[in-house]
Amino acid sequence: MPAAVITPTPGKESAAVLCYHRHMRFAWIIAAASLACGCPHNGSYSQPATLPTAKDVVARLAKLRASRTSFRVQTTMDYWLGKQRVKGKVRVMGTSKRQVRFNAIKPDDTVLVDMACNGTDFTFVDQQNNCQLAGPCDKTSIASLLRVELEPDDFHSFAQGVPPVIEGADGTVTWDAKHGQERVTLEGPAGKQVIVIDARDNHFDVVAAELRDPAGKVVWSVENSDFHDVKDVAGTPQRVPGKTRFKNPRQEADLLVDWLDEERAINLEIDAAKFTVPIPSGLSSCNGGSISP
């Protein structure tokens, strides 16, 4: 969730968020893990006669990403940073052209924070604190909001339930008989990646993924649950997660996203102008030039 939203102005109540005790997070995590893993059939799932190769998996993920070019959705974002928890409604849209927009919404349904990447530039307007930011749209600008370094096109992939894959990667695929899952381990110049795929009932649901840099430090991790079909604008079923959890261990940050189907659209046409946020004149720079909790 946008950091300017998750932290109330000192001495003021935030109209956009609700704060709760930290222990409430774990009920969601346990539920998500149960949905992702499922209950074993007689204690074990038989391994397919032929497991895919790592290159097969990478190719199938690429095909899925190519089939999902845009999305629009309303979400509930539940954000943890250290010991602080906040929760609020955020409208999100994005495309595979490095375009993304976030609207944090007040209880009266007006926009509190507006952020957009148009493929090249990043703009941010915080109506609550009367400040703004602008600059190049890259993983740093996305991290300033979500506390997880993600390129704009990578965020689009995550929102569609398909993780990005490190370039030039190859590796191995093993079978987890207890959960009916394929465990894919990839290595490339950018580091090491593990992807867990729920293969039960002929599905291809990415329930977990993690990227580590060449030094072995976690860059990001994600967990998906509640997979189901949502028809895109052409009527083609697209299997997507209902819930996603992002983590950045370096900053003790968790972002739990509930993707709400009633306003979810996939492969729709979105006017490129919607990915530019005009900055009103006279606004100061937010927090001296960076968004921080």
Domain holding 209: CATH number?
2.50.20.10
Lowest mean pLDDT: which of 27-36, 124-133, 198-207? 27-36
User: How far is residue 151's CA from residue 267's CA, in Å, rounded to a whole number?
Assistant: 20
Q: Is residue 293 part of a domain?
A: no
Is residue 276 in a domain? yes
Q: Do the strands 253-266 and 70-81 form a parallel or antiparallel pair, or are they unpaired?
A: antiparallel
DSSP notation for 27-81 = HHHHHHHHHHH---STT--PPPSSPPPHHHHHHHHHHHHHH--EEEEEEEEEEEE
| Residue-number span of the structural domain to which 116 is assigned | 3-9+17-38+47-282
Cβ partners under 8 Å of residue 73, min gap 6: 91, 92, 93, 159, 259, 260, 263, 264, 265
Residue 287 has pLDDT above 50, yes or no: yes
* Nearest in space to 127 (alpha carbons), one of 101, 103, 94, 92: 103
To the nearest whole number, what is the mean pLDDT of the chain?
83
Residue with tokens 């939203």: 5
Structural domain total, the chain: 1
Q: How would residue 144 be classed by pLDDT, with cut points 50, 70 and 90? A: low
pLDDT band at 108 (very low <50, low <70, confident <90, very high): confident
Alpha-helical segments (H) within the chain: 3-6, 24-37, 54-67, 139-146, 152-159
Contact 179, 7 (CB under 8 A): no
Domain for residue 145, yes or no? yes
Which residues have C-beta within 8 Å of that of residue 199, sequence separation ≥ 6? 48, 180, 181, 182
Q: Write down the pLDDT at residue 22.
A: 43
| Most distant CA pair in the chain, distance | 66
Q: Is residue 272 part of a domain?
A: yes
Q: How far apart are CA 122 and CA 215, in angstroms?
A: 30
Residue 291 lies in a domain: no
Instruction: Name residues whose C-beta falls within 8 Å of residue 167's C-beta, 6 or more positions apart in sequence.
Output: 188, 189, 190
Query: Residue 292: inside a domain, yes or no?
Result: no
The residue written with tokens 């009103």 in the block is 280
Q: What is the pLDDT of residues 19-58, one digit of tens each?
A: 334 444 444 444 444 444 444 456 689 998 899 999 999 9
Is residue 83 in some structural domain?
A: yes
Task: Flag whether 263 is in a domain.
Answer: yes
